[in-house]
């Protein structure tokens, strides 16, 4: 979700850069520019993601091994949004280019749905009530 036209408002300097960009764009609004404002994933969504990944990591043996929540996050993020692979130092390939930290609220909601669906396909009970799933 980051490219050379994305500015994360995480500091006063970033806010100033955004202001300069908006000033530049103001004279070019007819040139096909679109401004998209998104909110970063919520703390509740983040906690729910790690809870689900932890349950999966403890409940599901995958190809003869139990994987960590972090490994499941990488695997499911890559499966959901794709990305590139690079050769690993000791052989094999490593997925790169996908991070959950850049997800907005809507994307994080989609990712949580994907985790829930994956758990369901593999008979993993996430142990959540309806209120938790709606987060």
pTM: 0.64
Q: Is the pLDDT of residue 22 over 70?
A: yes
Quick: pLDDT tens for 29-58.
666 766 666 778 889 999 999 999 999 999
- What mean pLDDT do residues 111-115 have? 95
10 vs 126, which has greater pLDDT?
A: 126
Structural domain including 14 reads 1-37
In the chain, pLDDT over 70 holds for what percent of residues?
82
What residues have CB less than 8 Å from 42, skipping those under 6 apart? 105, 108, 135
Instruction: Identify whether residues 47 and 33 lie together within a single domain.
Output: no
126 & 82 share domain: yes
Domains of the chain: total: 2
- Are residues 124 and 64 part of one domain? yes
For tokens 């709606």, the residue is 134
Q: What are the pLDDT digits (tens) for 85-107?
A: 888 888 888 787 778 887 888 99
Element (H, E) at 52: helix 43-59
Say whether 48 sits in a helix, a strand or coil: helix
Helix (H) or strand (E) holding 12: helix 12-26
Give the CATH number, domain containing residue 99: 1.10.3790.10
Q: Kindly give, in sequence order, each residue whose CB lies less than 8 Å from that of residue 78, ignoring residues fewer than 6 positions away.
A: 95, 98
118 and 67 share a domain? yes
């Amino acid at each position: 979700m980051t490219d050379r036209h994305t500015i994360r408002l995480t500091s006063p300097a970033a806010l100033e850069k955004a202001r300069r960009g908006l000033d530049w764009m103001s004279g070019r609004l007819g040139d096909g520019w679109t401004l998209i404002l998104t909110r970063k994933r919520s703390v509740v969504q983040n906690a729910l993601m790690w809870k689900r990944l932890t349950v999966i990591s403890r409940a599901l043996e995958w190809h003869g091994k139990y994987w960590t929540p972090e490994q499941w996050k990488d695997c499911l993020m890559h499966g959901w949004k794709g990305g590139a692979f690079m050769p690993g130092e000791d052989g094999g390939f490593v997925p790169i280019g996908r991070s959950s930290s850049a997800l907005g609220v809507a994307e994080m909601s989609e990712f949580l749905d994907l985790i829930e669906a994956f758990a369901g396909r593999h008979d993993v009970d996430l142990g959540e009530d309806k209120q938790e799933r709606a987060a």
